[in-house]
A and B are shown apart, each in its own frame.
Chain A
Amino acid sequence: MVPEGVVALLEILLFPGFLFLIALAFFYEWVDRKLLAKLQNRYGPLYTGPSGLLQPFADFIKLLSKEDITPKAADKFMFSCAPLFLLSFPLLALFLVPVAGLKALISFEGDLIFLMFLFTLIAVTVFIAGWSSVSRFSTVGGVRAAFQMLGYEIPMTLVMVGPAIAARTLSISQIVGWQTHNAAWFIWFQPIGFAIFVLCLLAELEFIPFDIPEAATEIVAGWSTEYSGRKLALIRLGKDVELVLAASLITSLFLGGPNSSLPILAIGFFLLKTTLAVVLLTTLRALFARFRIDQMIAGAWKYVIPLAILQMVLIQLGFGR
């Protein structure tokens, strides 16, 4: 028998740990770009590997090898730390989500709250990244990211608690377990919650209707304007991992997660459902045009938060489970 420590280490490093998640991140960036191109009547990446499959990897390698510029005026320490955090927070959050089987690598009662905390930290780190670059474009981008967080944070937290109330647990693994046990998905019980969750994830990922903090046509490249080379590579990888995180959260909170305790079946279901989630996010991103920051915040407070509260009330009245 292999000792338990080795198995745990392999789980963290290879599967379903770092290596698998990062490979998945590159794969979903490819799915996202390819589908976006298809929807815009283009081909998308085509010649890098089979149908451009290796494109995100090539981008990553190239960025790693480029010159790494730190602006003179920047706050050097925070400027260098922010990309590391932007990669490690989503990776850590992914460890809380069940991938192969019904149990996540790390799972404890209350990990849903911890995950919400990590989501907030990601947004705050984006703000710090923009602020510490001390360039007017990144500052504006960072402030917009912080503002945007004020808009989507509260409805997202509210609808993430919805499945938790219905399943009477604050652990993501057990929410998945509840859905498997009762053979029921929360998307059928809480459709409003699902719609709001997808909307807020679009904002969290800075996808097009809410790419206000990046806004290439207004503020150069937003909060990441001053980043180059290795740091930009980490930021981009972090964004991809965040996409995986978003897709796997949609999967485990609303689509029943990896619906089986058999590893092979579980991973198959997980991949299928997360791919569907990525397709949904990408389609939405291709459909819309960018909002202004005031429209986004006003819309969130006027319409999205009341709807989220309505969903909570419905759950309390017994319609959500």
Chain B
Amino acid sequence: MGLLKWGRTKSPWIIHFNTGGCNACDIEVVAALMPRYDIERFGIIIRGSPRHADVLVVTGPVTRQVKDRLVRIYEQVPEPKSVIAVGSCAISGAPFADCYNVYGGIDTVIPVDVYVPGCPPKPEAIINGIVKLIEKLKAG
């Protein structure tokens, strides 16, 4: 494994964005960062600015209101970047899929690398998703 790839797989920094979910997924994402699960073990830290991040963690369905902002934030993340869709909402829109103001899952707007199903997914599931992402980075 080259030095560059090693660096990339060992320090994926995330930015967390809620596009209009019910907030339960966000609490699970935060739980994964807290002492009990502590994903800083894998070198993952949460950053405030999309310019510092490598991985965009999205929770919630894409609403009309948030669509432009989601695309904008996605574009502000510097290459190479990846996207994790956390929760059923982010995958398909789940309970909100039929709403007049909802487009559906995240992949209707931006490309998604890893899907983490669950409503909300457990922190273990989120960590599993991140491990899948790291494997994908290693392979690609």
State the A residues within 8 Å of B (CB).
33, 37, 40-48, 52, 54-55, 58-62, 64-69, 137, 216-217, 220-221, 224-229, 232
Contacts and interface: CB of A to CB of B under 8 A. Distances in A.
A171 to B, nearest CB: 40
B54 A48 contact: no
Contacts of A137: 49
A43 B79 CA distance: 29
Nearest to A36: B40
Given A69-B51, A226-B51, A45 B35 contact: no
A228 B43 contact: no
Interface stretch (B6-14, B91-99, B117-125): B6-14
Interface of B: 3-4, 6-8, 10-11, 13, 35, 38, 40-43, 47-49, 51-52, 54, 76, 78-80
A219 to B, nearest CB: 8
Contacts of B54: 62, 66
Contacts of A45: 40-41, 43
Given A42-B35, A61-B3, A62-B10, 10 more contacts: A43-B40, A45-B41, A45-B43, A61-B6, A62-B8, A62-B54, A64-B7, A67-B78, A67-B79, A227-B52
B43 A48 contact: yes
B53 to A, nearest CB: 9
Contacts, number: 93
A228 B11 contact: no
Interface centre among A43, A48, A62, A226, by most B CB within 10 Å?
A62
B78 A220 contact: no
Given A37-B40, A42-B35, A220-B49, A59 B11 contact: yes
Q: Chain A: interface secondary structure?
A: loop
A152 to B, nearest CB: 23
A216 B4 contact: no
Interface centre among B40, B54, B79, by most A CB within 10 Å?
B40
Given A65-B7, A226-B51, A232-B51, A59 B40 contact: no
Nearest to A232: B52
A44 B35 CA distance: 9
Contacts of B51: 69, 221, 225-228, 232
B78 A68 contact: yes
A303 B79 CA distance: 47
Nearest to A37: B40
Given A220-B49, A221-B47, A232-B51, A46 B41 contact: yes
